[in-house]
Structure 1
Amino acid sequence: MSGGGRRHIDAAERRARLAVRHRLAGTARAAAPEEVAAALVALHGSDPATVHLAVGARLAEPVKAVPETERALYEDRTLVRMHGMRHTVFVFPAALTAVVHASTGLTVAARERAALLKHMAKAGAPDAAWLAEVETSTLAALARRGQATATELAADEPRLREQFVYAAGKSYEGIHTVSTRLLKVLGVEGKVVRGRPLGSWTSSQFRWAVAPEHPELDEAEAQAELLRHWLRACGPATEADLKWWTGWRVTEVRRALTAIGAEPVSLDEGTTGYVTREDTEPVAAPEEPWAAFLPALDPTAMAWQHRDWYLAPELRPQLFDRSGNVGPTVWWNGRVIGGWAQRADGELAWRVLDPGVGREAETAIAEAAERVRGVVAEARVTPRFRTPLEKELSAST
């Protein structure tokens, strides 16, 4: 126990929790993508390849990652790709979509619709009543088709092709199409979701589908429920971590922590973290050491704002882009020790940046690379957000 009667959770135990709860240790690996998504709460989906690679890193049989993830997303619909925290696209368990929408989407949705109407009005485009007609017609067309691209929907509703000038006279002036902006708003509002991509699993061109029906939940109750799920996966976490991950105001974070009766614990940095009230017992490290190749924007690497307990500050310039997006990372026993990339010829290249790892780690890392090869097969994967080390390794021979 630390001073004040709080239990202390040190960095070693935090890494042990990460290994088991994020399904990265060998004995903790999952049988299906649904288990992975439930364990992590959310899989980053703004880079389509991330979802499949993140699942593959955690499956007992990584070769099944692509077909099984596509089954879950596009056939069984047990996983749903939609906007969530911080106005970012994620893949969630279907059972959590109502919670995510009510806890994080409503405020963003109102802001996005207001912004669209404002930009259209400034450009002299049609008014809100006109947009409402187009919206109703578009949703009806999408319901008839099941899934469709924006181009296909515009064949049914030609007004989607209308264009207007955004930020006229500014250095960032541009031409916006109604279809692009409206579908984005409908996505944030929880009315449509991303469907099957036009190309392979690495494609970023998606069809749209009508969102599955879900109950409308109270915002505060939904925030408490989302926080409970996330702390089970990622606790302990500080208020700053929670505010960053959710995109909520600090008052909302504190309200949700109070609602679930979260337990404060002390951390190595001298800060206060929180766990759920059922999660105060010590967690032992896995018996077997483990290594993993995690993709760019992996939900483990991006889960916390404060990362020193698993990522040395001196490694960050090589592993992150200028906007704070993490690239592909190499892990050893709960710590980031390097990065990896796929070259143009399909081979994987990696570099260990921590000189302290030994032969055991090198062997495990080579085995982790084989797991990635099992997922990727003949595909070529280039992260949407390029980082210095990934660029260098991908160009290596």
Structure 2
Amino acid sequence: MRHVTDSERRRRLARRHALAPGHRVESAEAATRAMTVLHATESPSVYLSLWARVDGLRVEDVDRALYQDRTLVKQVAMRRTLFVFPRDLLPAAWGSASARVAAAHRVRLAKDAQLGGLTEDGAAWVEAAERAALAQLADGVERSAQRLREEVPALAGRIEMSPGKSYGGNNPIAPRLLTQLGVEAKIVRGHNGGHWRTNRPQWTTMAAWLGEVPAPATEREGYAELVRRWLATFGPGTEADLVWWLGSTKSALRAALADVAAVEVGLDGGGTGWVLPDDLEPEPDVEPWGALLPVLDPTVMGWKERSFYLGTHGPLLFDTNGNAGTTVWLDGRIVGCWVQDPDGVVVINLLEDVGADTRAALDREAERLTTWLEGHRVSTVYPSSAMKETLIS
């Protein structure tokens, strides 16, 4: 059995994730394809993930791909997470990961609408509210969630969630219904109604946004395509990595691995990983490199089993729900985090000694990012412990 060491996995990451300076790519589309998908839970992460991988990237380049050419499209899929997809990968997600999320979300939404007092028949309410929202969007005009709440009575309701609990509260139903329609690919997040650092989607139908909507893949075909692309980006990966990333069952994953003829390889620590059948050649050395990645970057979030690049730093860099904050990378390992000071200057917090010369090189990356941000400060709802400590100090 071919053995892939942790060092080789880090070299693969450097090239395939377009992070080492000599291996960055030429466009937002190429960078997204290199990563399979981008995390889009927070709008700035999309831009900063692409900045790290595309030399000379401008905000306008990302906006063009997202909102003009629409070669990149936002879609809720794996683990009920919002991603940016290459347009041609959407049918695979629609037939597999998105469909799985949609089925579970529909049941929960119907139950909550009923328990929250909106209706005595939750399933019927969801269907009626969907029809009403789609009818309002049928003219092709993009609308914010607030405008839809004003125009569609069914979306104006609120429900009481988890009464008596600290995490409960009285919440609008509209975001839940729009999420349901979005994960079903009936509607899509169109233009952003705010600055690139904020997330204010304007909703429209998928047909109006894409023009021609391809048919979803079958469930099996969809999972196979997602696994094929994931392995090209992240391989080798373990079964646990793939089940977690896909949000799928083991049986669906194992069928997909068989469909793409994935090959087992040995990993450091005695584990077993998977790669594509044409991906068994040794990975050459890579010149020393550093990178600054944003909250929820796809490299950081690509694996469940992260010790080969994270070491023991996990508790300082991930919150208790498993969300990654900003990270500083050195030769395929995470060595710290970064924040912005009140003036918008990027400041690095290293969690281990890297030497004076390397620290200087990382500081130059911080200066490069400071210049690109042009004084704009990026906020997050997922600050890690290390980020908080840096801000306090």
TM-score when normalising by structure 1: 0.92
1:317 corresponds to which residue?
315
Deviations 1:323-379 (A, max 9, x none): 121111111111111111111221111122222x23442232122213322432221
Which residue in 2 is equivalent to 1:77?
70
Letter of the 2:24 partner, please give it.
Answer: R
Alignment match, 1:285? 285
CA distance in 1, matches of 2:271, 2:375: 46
Match of residue 194, structure 1, among 164, 189, 192: 189
The DSSP-based 3-state class of the residue aligned with 2:303 is coil
Is residue 271 of structure 1 aligned with residue 271 of structure 2? yes
Equivalent residue, structure 2, for 1:341:
339
The residue that corresponds to 1:3 in the other structure is none
The residue type equivalent to 2:268 in the other structure is D
2-side partners of 1:306 and 1:353: how far apart?
Answer: 20
Question: Displacement, 1:11?
Answer: 1.1
Per-residue deviation, 1:220: 0.8
Match for 1:97 among 90, 98, 106?
A: 90
**Do 2:78 and 2:101's aligned partners in 1 also have CA atoms closer than 8 Å?**
no
2:239 is aligned with what amino acid? E
Q: Secondary structure at the match of 1:364?
A: helix
> CA offsets, 1:158-193, max 9 Å, x none?
332123334456665533433222111111212122
Q: Counterpart in 1 of 2:300?
A: 301
Counterpart residue type for residue 330 of structure 1: V
Instruction: State the AA in 2 paired with 1:186.
Output: L
SS at match of 1:350: strand
Paired letter, 1:190? A
The amino acid that maps onto 1:58 is: R
Q: Supply the distance in 1 between the matched residues of 2:54 and 2:116 (Cα, whole angstroms).
A: 50
State the alpha-carbon separation in 1 of the partners of residues 293 and 164 from structure 2.
Answer: 43
Distance 1:178 1:325 in 2: 25
Residues 178-189 of structure 1 mapped to structure 2, 5 A cutoff: 178-189=173-184
C-alpha distance after superposition, 1:265-288 (max 9, x if no partner): 0011111110000111111122x2
- Is the contact made by 1:343 and 1:395 (CA closer than 8 Å) also made in structure 2? no
CA contact (8 A) 1:342 1:382 kept: no
Matched-pair contact (CA < 8 Å) for 2:345–2:375: no
What amino acid does structure 1 have at the position aligned with 2:344? G
Residue aligned with 2:308, SS: coil
Output one character per residue of 1:122-161: Cα deviation in whole Å (capped at 9) or x when no partner.
3442344454333223123223253211121233323321
Matched-pair contact (CA < 8 Å) for 1:9–1:267: yes
Q: Does structure 2 conserve the Cα–Cα contact (< 8 Å) formed by 1:343 and 1:393?
A: no
Task: Please give the per-residue CA displacement for 1:96-122, whole angstroms capped at 9, x wherever unaligned.
Answer: 111112120112111111222222223
Letter in structure 2 aligned against 1:351: N
Residue 7 to residue 377, structure 1, CA distance change in 2 (3 Å):
same
Structure 2 unmatched runs, 5+: none
Residue 151 (structure 1) aligned with residue 146 (structure 2):
yes
Secondary structure, aligned partner of 2:199: coil
The alignment-based identity, stated in percent, is 40
- The answer as to whether partners of 2:140 and 2:205 remain within 8 angstroms in 1 is no
| Kept after mapping to 2: 8 A contact 1:344/1:394 | no
Counterpart residue identity of residue 309, structure 1: F
Q: Distance in 1 between matches of 2:15 and 2:203?
A: 35
The correspondence for 1:56, drawn from 43, 46, 51, is: 51
In the alignment, the residues of structure 1 paired with residue 243 and residue 199 of structure 2 have an alpha-carbon distance, to the nearest angstrom, of: 28
Query: In the alignment, is the contact (CA less than 8 A) between 1:80 and 1:92 conserved in 2?
Result: yes
Checking the alignment, whether the CA contact within 8 Å between 1:154 and 1:160 is kept in structure 2 is: yes
CA contact (8 A) 1:344 1:395 kept: no
| Cα separation, 2, equivalents of 1:296 and 1:50 | 6
Q: Which residue of 2 aligns with 1:243?
A: 243
- Distance in 2 between residues matched to 1:75 and 1:18, nearest whole Å: 31
Q: Is the 8 Å Cα contact of residues 343 and 375 (structure 2) preserved in structure 1?
A: no
Assess if the C-alpha contact under 8 Å between 1:113 and 1:185 holds in 2: yes
Q: Secondary structure at the match of 2:324?
A: coil
Q: Distance in 2 between matches of 1:149 and 1:141?
A: 12
Deviation for aligned residue 1:91 = 0.8
Structure 1 stretches lacking a partner, 5+ long: 1-5
Aligned 8 A contact 1:99 1:225 in 2? yes
Question: Residues 102 and 217 of structure 1 are in contact (CA less than 8 Å); yes or no, is this contact kept in structure 2?
Answer: yes
Query: Offset of 1:257 from its aligned partner?
Result: 0.6
Partner of residue 352, structure 2: 354
| 8 Å Cα contact 2:319-2:384 kept in structure 1 | yes
Cα distance in 1 between the residues matched to 2:381 and 2:205: 26
* Aligned mates of 1:274, 1:183 — CA distance in 2: 37
Residue type of the partner of 1:118?
K
Residue 363 (structure 1) aligns with: 360
CA distance in 2 between counterparts of 1:304 and 1:367 reads 28
Q: Distance in 2 between matches of 1:168 and 1:336?
A: 41
For the Cα contact (< 8 Å) 2:77–2:101, is it kept in 1? no
Question: Separation in 1 of the partners of 2:159 and 2:340?
Answer: 40
> In terms of mean alpha carbon deviation, does 272-281 or 204-213 score higher?
204-213
Query: What pairs with 1:18-33 in structure 2 (closer than 5 Å)?
Result: 18-33=13-28
- Greater mean deviation of Cα atoms: 107-116 or 8-17: 107-116
What residue is the counterpart of 1:394 in the other structure? Answer: 391
Of stretches 92-101 and 362-371 in structure 1, the one that deviates more from structure 2 is: 362-371
Output aligned runs, 1:113-124, within 5 Å.
113-124=106-117
Equivalent pair of 1:23/1:29 in contact (CA under 8 Å): yes
Counterpart mapping for 1:122-271 below 5 A: 122-126=115-119, 127=121, 128-167=123-162, 172-211=167-206, 212=210, 213-271=213-271
